Chains A and B, each alone.
Chain A
Amino acid sequence: GAVVSQHPSWVICKSGTSVKIECRSLDFQATTMFWYRQFPKQSLMLMATSNEGSKATYEQGVEKDKFLINHASLTLSTLTVTSAHPEDSSFYICSANGVLRNIQYFGAGTRLSVL
């Protein structure tokens, strides 16, 4: 149980285009989902917290207009990187919190390369 699916696992795009990443909780309802970014040899950095049906809460320094988060249902959250640039190239990871226990279950991550 507690499986989180993240898609795509790898994406290459041209500078200026937008990329959407999906995060789904497959066997549980996730009231809260999180989006992280990880640069090589660094730890995970929380970008934003999203609760179903409400606006996401972004961490300081994360541009909400550039990283659009939608959490329309209890099993799906999406992150859209708008007008991507090479500096947005990174490993993006989502996680979902179950209702009953304060445990985050993580997706496999999406490696984004912007050319």
Chain B
Amino acid sequence: DAKTTQPTSMDCAEGRAANLPCNHSTISGNEYVYWYRQIHSQGPQYIIHGLKNNETNEMASLIITEDRKSSTLILPHATLRDTAVYYCIVLAGNNRKLIWGLGTSLAVNP
């Protein structure tokens, strides 16, 4: 599976949009982009995933560039409860094994 690169940490003001980037320049055509997050001392939580079209759900939006080499997770109105480590993972559709990097530690500040 393709490797991903994320910034180590980011800050965001409460109520503002949080935009978390992810580079996956070696992604293959059958690989999806998944986003999970882990709040301190809890199990990870699925956020969203996509193949090539932009996706939106009740938690976030996922913007994938046309060449699919990078993506951005958008939390439209960040709250303090969104403080967590966010993981971008690329995974082929027939593969179920998630490989976890170090993710981006997002701090939402009041």
Contacts and interface: CB of A to CB of B under 8 A. Distances in A.
Interface stretch (B18-26, B44-52, B62-70, B73-81): B44-52
A105 B46 contact: yes
A52 B40 CA distance: 30
Q: Is the interface of B mostly helix, strand, loop or mixed?
A: loop
Interface residues of B, number: 22
Contacts, number: 53
B98 A103 contact: no
Interface band, chain A: 20 to 34
A97 B18 CA distance: 28
A6 B96 contact: no
B110 interface: no
Contacts of A45: 100
Contacts of B100: 43-46
17 contacts: A32-B96, A43-B87, A43-B101, A44-B38, A45-B100, A46-B99, A93-B43, A94-B43, A97-B96, A102-B93, A102-B96, A106-B43, A106-B44, A108-B43, A109-B41, A109-B42, A109-B43
Interface of B: 32, 34, 36, 38, 41-46, 49, 87, 91, 93, 96-103
